Amino acid sequence: MELASTLSLEMFGKPFLLEKRIRLLHAIEEHGSISKAAKVVPMSYKSAWEAVDAMNALSPEPIVHRETGGKEGGGTVLTAYGRRLLEHYALLEEEHSRFISRLASLVEGEEGTFGTIERFSLQLSARNQIQAVVTQVRHSGVNAAVTLKLKGGQQVVSHITAEAVEDLQIEAGSRVVAICKSSNVCVVQPGVEKENLLEGVVTTFEQDTEHIKLAVDIGRHDTLISVSPKTPNTVVLKKGQSVRLGIRPRDIMIGR
């Protein structure tokens, strides 16, 4: 049996730096272009941007910055924080390799038992996973209302059980991840008020025969994905347009 393992890092219990994402960051640093970097990895242009958005959303500081304008129309670069991240990952990878080598020497001759050990990982299908800070916890019987402040300064409220608050040890100042499905994020028309309203700018717009998919920048590299049925009000949306998004408090889960 040959013992092998790849190094991946999690933040708030969510996959953050995976081997493929590290290759993508190195390629961005080398080529200064998300399209060229995606071909090197390889992965699709869309998947590359989704990976970048996920890393920026979970990171306390932006890792990748998209430049506009200039002689060649701009490009994509790593921030100073992103470059430090790669340096520190390289150091961790060296230690990880040494650990695996030592571990392999311990299991030699025990293939019958160690051969059955497998590594499992759980990832959520929910597209929206954004870092937040708890500013308030209000208990009401078996339930609780948790107020979350996003990196851009906007706030949302999540309704979860009091038991979940206790199990996750959630209190004011806790860093958590706000999680919600894209189908639970809807476009709210002007004049309509909801408890959780987030303002942002449309960065991508896609549609099929029945649905509209939006990626909306809500500030500080936080992006929300909304997938909803076509309506007369949503089909006129376009890239660069300001929108308001609404999420019901019961549709926001909290991870830690």
Q: Which tens digit of pLDDT belongs to each residue from 43-59?
A: 899 989 888 988 888 88
The CATH T-level fold of domain 128-255 is OB fold (Dihydrolipoamide Acetyltransferase, E2P) (2.40.50)
- pTM assigned to the model: 0.57
Q: Is the pLDDT of residue 78 over 60?
A: yes
Q: Is the pLDDT of residue 221 over 50?
A: yes
Span of 48-52, 83-87, 90-94, 188-192 with lowest mean pLDDT? 90-94
> pLDDT higher for 191 or 123?
191
Query: Tell me, what's the pLDDT at 194?
Result: 84
Q: Is the pLDDT of residue 193 over 60?
A: yes
Span of 28-37, 60-69, 93-102, 218-227 with lowest mean pLDDT? 93-102
Mean pLDDT of 239-243: 93
Q: What are the residues facing 212 on neighbouring strands?
A: 207, 228
Pick the most confident of 72-76, 81-85, 146-150: 146-150
- How distant is the alpha carbon of residue 53 from its chain centre? 6
Query: Tell me, what's the pLDDT at 5?
Result: 56
For the chain, domain boundaries:
9-104, 128-255
Confidence class for position 22, pLDDT limits 50, 70, 90: confident
Mean pLDDT of 125-148: 92
Query: Tell me, what's the pLDDT at 123?
Result: 58
> pLDDT higher for 172 or 66?
172
Class of domain 9-104: mainly alpha
Query: Tell me, what's the pLDDT at 97?
Result: 75
Query: Tell me, what's the pLDDT at 67?
Result: 72
Mean pLDDT of 125-139: 90
Cβ atoms of 214 and 122 closer than 8 Å: no
How far, CA to CA in Å, does 12 sit from each of 20, 59, 130, 157, 181? 20, 10, 10, 19, 18
Mean pLDDT of 152-171: 94
Confidence class for position 107, pLDDT limits 50, 70, 90: low
What DSSP assignment string belongs to the chain? --------EEETTEEEE-HHHHHHHHHHHHHS-HHHHHHHTT--HHHHHHHHHHHHHHSSS-SEEEEE-STT-EEEEE-HHHHHHHHHHHHHHHHHHHHHHHHHHHHTT-HHHHTT----------SEEEEEEEEEEEEETTEEEEEEEETTS-EEEEEEEHHHHHHTT--TT-EEEEEE-GGG-EE--TT---SSEEEEEEEEEEE-SSEEEEEEEEETTEEEEEEEE--TTTTT--TT-EEEEE--GGG-EEE-
Q: Count of CB atoms within 10 A of residue 99's CB?
A: 12
Q: Is the pLDDT of residue 20 over 60?
A: yes
Query: Tell me, what's the pLDDT at 155?
Result: 96
* Percent of the chain predicted with pLDDT > 70: 80
CA distance 164 to 143: 9
Q: Is the pLDDT of residue 200 over 50?
A: yes
* Percent of the chain predicted with pLDDT > 90: 45
